Chain A
Amino acid sequence: MNLTGLRFPVIVPFMKCFRHRHAAGALVLVAASLLVGCAAPAPEQQPPPPADPPFRPVATIREVMNSVIDPSIDVVWNSVKTVIDNGTTDHAPAADEDWAEVRRHALIVSEAANLLMMHNRPVAPPGAPSLAPGVELTPEEIRALIDKNPEGWNFYVQQLQDSLKPALAAIDKKDSQALFDVGEKIDETCENCHSVFWYPNAVASSK
């Protein structure tokens, strides 16, 4: 094998330094391998695992319901109503401040839905009982249902958020009839979720 006939003019003089041509041939192969190795793409770096979200739940789901969602949605529902009592009186927001107050509570419920979707929020304090033993599940049973079906849980919670959108639109238009009409849909989303996660057996037994 005549190495002087190779097409690598830089390498050929270098190889002439070797007295043994087989050793020189092996060196060429090693060098070529190194060149090929350098040209290959580097293996992809694994992205670091996502950091835990910085949220720090303080209240339980039950407390968020009782302290944030219930009082605020009651303001939305009660803002438009008719009372028959020594005559008939229609109630609806009138002044700008009235509408602003209702909007504030509609927003509280909309955003509180995000609190419900935080996966590490307990349903109730450890050992807390069912609020209706024999009808509604215990907090541990509710937690198990949520953990078994987190997509379903988030779906229903987002349904609640979505049901508030027409309420906010009605408020922005100062349309009290539209706000009244959407009240039924909001309650429906509550019932849909509760019948799956809070009292699935009660629904079955009443049919």
Chain B
Amino acid sequence: MKTKIILVLLAAAALYAVQPAQAHHAFAAEYDVDKPVELKGILTKMEWVNPHGWIYMDVKQPDGTSKHWTVETSGPNQMSRRGLKKADFSDGMTLVVKGYQGKKDPELANGRTLVLPDGRSFYIGSVGGPNDGADR
């Protein structure tokens, strides 16, 4: 019984360890509009969840190493209305994401556009983002 409780606690701790902060803040509080990023990498995980989706991807660096990025997207229903479906994602696919880098976490970004391997491009920006034309 004691072992079971410890396992449950460890599982809960692991869950919270990988989940980005969920508190509701202004876009500019978390992301830097002066630091646009373009990420090309391999999808390792996608969470199709409210209130925002999350893309996890490995991005190869010029020196051959890899960085693990987390990208916040808009809500899943917003993405669906723009034609992007959860069935469009599969782990291991190559994605290109444009967005803005996090202020506190340098490997966190807020996604603005997503390009799938078949060339289709979608707006995935959150409410309150900069007026950069990505949603047109």
Whether the Cβ atoms of B48 and A70 lie closer than 8 Å is: no
Tell which of B26, B48, B128, B131 touches A81, judged by Cβ atoms closer than 8 Å.
Answer: B48
Beyond A85-B45, A202-B128, A206-B131, whether A187 also contacts B51 by CB under 8 A is yes
Q: What are 26 A-B pairs with beta-carbon distances under 8 A?
A: A77-B49, A80-B49, A81-B50, A82-B48, A82-B49, A83-B46, A84-B43, A84-B47, A84-B89, A85-B45, A85-B46, A85-B91, A86-B91, A132-B26, A183-B50, A183-B77, A184-B78, A190-B51, A191-B128, A194-B24, A194-B26, A195-B26, A199-B25, A199-B29, A205-B28, A206-B128
Give the CA-CA distance A70 to B77 in the complex, in Å.
Answer: 21
Q: How many residues of A contact B (CB 8 A)?
A: 36
Contacts of A70 in B (CB 8 A): 22-24
- In the complex formed, the residue of B with least CB distance to A71 is B22
**In the assembled complex, A135 has its CB within 8 A of some CB on chain B:** yes
Q: Interface 1/0s, chain A 80-120, versus B by CB < 8 A?
A: 11111111100000000000000000000000000000000
Which residues of A are interface residues toward B (Cβ below 8 A)? 65-66, 70, 74, 77-78, 80-88, 131-132, 135-136, 180-181, 183-184, 186-187, 190-191, 194-195, 198-199, 202-203, 205-207
Give the CA-CA distance A82 to B77 in the complex, in Å.
Answer: 13
Give the CA-CA distance A78 to B19 in the complex, in Å.
Answer: 11
Give the CA-CA distance A186 to B28 in the complex, in Å.
Answer: 21
Contacts of A186 in B (CB 8 A): 50-51
Contacts of B51 in A (CB 8 A): 77, 183-184, 186-187, 190
Which residues of B are interface residues toward A (Cβ below 8 A)? 22-30, 33, 43-51, 75-78, 86-87, 89-91, 127-131
Give the CA-CA distance A190 to B25 in the complex, in Å.
Answer: 10
Interface centre among B75, B87, B90 (most CB of A within 10 A): B75
Contacts of B129 in A (CB 8 A): 206
Beyond A85-B91, A184-B51, whether A202 also contacts B46 by CB under 8 A is no
Q: Nearest 9 CB-CB pairs, A to B?
A: A183-B50, A132-B29, A187-B51, A81-B49, A199-B26, A202-B26, A82-B48, A84-B46, A77-B50
